[in-house]
């Protein structure tokens, strides 16, 4: 029979470390369900959108990103009119790529704006759906050299970096 002391003294494996944070997820889901019940009691015809994605951060710890239109506040959950879409940012060699899930809209409804403080603002407003997200970019980008595509509910924006990494050096 294995004792409790053996479990406390043994070295943690990768999986032990990875699953250690899942207790936080369970608490987060419990809190969300309580908040959801509170919003439901208050009423309202608006739909509720809530989700999260989990990825491994550069420090080896899980990173949780929430999205949707239910936001916590000191006075309880707030239901926003616009949905915050799930967004991924990829810092590539010569460009920054931003991918956002914004289903159910026409590409003509999508508005993109690059702010002076290096944020990409994604907004959509039509009679059926509203989306809004400010995305902090990891590098300075050239707004004149950017490209956006929208297909099957996924927006992809590719922004060329101002200072590219890994420049080639010519030997003269």
Domains and CATH numbers, the chain: 1-80 (no CATH), 85-164 (2.60.40.790)
pLDDT (average), residues 32-52? 67
Distance CA 169, CA 126 (A): 49
Mean pLDDT of 117-137: 92
Span 82-106, mean pLDDT?
A: 92
Poorest-confidence range of 66-70, 83-87, 149-153, 156-160?
Answer: 66-70
Task: Look over the chain and give the mean of its residue pLDDT values, rounded to a whole number.
Answer: 80
Q: What is the pLDDT of residue 59?
A: 83
pLDDT greater than 80 at residue 89: yes
The per-residue pLDDT for 148 is 94
Q: Which of 57-61, 90-94, 146-150 has the highest mean pLDDT?
A: 146-150
Burial of 159 (0-12, 13-18, 19+ CB in 10 A): buried
Structure tokens at 63: 């990173």
Mean pLDDT of 80-95: 89
Region of 93 on the Ramachandran plot (φ > 0 left; ψ -120 to 50 alpha; else beta): alpha
SS3 74: coil
- What pLDDT, on a 0 to 100 scale, did the predictor assign at position 87? 93
Structure confidence at residue 69 as a pLDDT band (50, 70, 90): confident
Mean pLDDT of 132-148: 91
Q: Six-digit token pair at 40?
A: 């439901």
The pLDDT of 67-80, averaged and rounded, is 77
Kindly indicate the confidence band of residue 137, based on its pLDDT and cuts at 50, 70 and 90. Answer: very high
Percentage of the chain exceeding pLDDT 90 = 34
Cα→Cα distances 65→23, 123, 142, Å: 16, 19, 27
């Amino acid at each position: 029979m294995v004792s409790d002391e053996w479990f406390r003294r043994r070295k943690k494996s990768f999986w032990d470390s990875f699953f250690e944070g899942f207790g936080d997820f369970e608490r987060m889901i419990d809190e969300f369900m309580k908040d959801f019940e509170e919003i439901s009691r208050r009423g309202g015809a608006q739909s509720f959108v809530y989700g999260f994605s989990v990825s491994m951060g550069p420090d080896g710890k899980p990173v949780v990103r929430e999205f949707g239109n239910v936001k916590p506040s000191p006075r309880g959950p707030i239901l926003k009119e616009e949905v915050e879409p799930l967004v991924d940012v990829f810092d590539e060699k010569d460009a920054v790529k931003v991918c956002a899930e914004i289903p159910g809209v026409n590409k003509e409804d999508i508005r993109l704006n690059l702010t002076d403080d290096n944020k990409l603002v994604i907004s959509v407003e039509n009679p059926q759906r509203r989306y809004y997200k400010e995305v902090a970019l990891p590098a300075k980008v050239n707004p004149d050299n950017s490209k956006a595509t929208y297909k099957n509910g996924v927006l992809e924006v590719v922004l060329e970096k101002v200072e590219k990494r890994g420049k080639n050096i010519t030997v003269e």
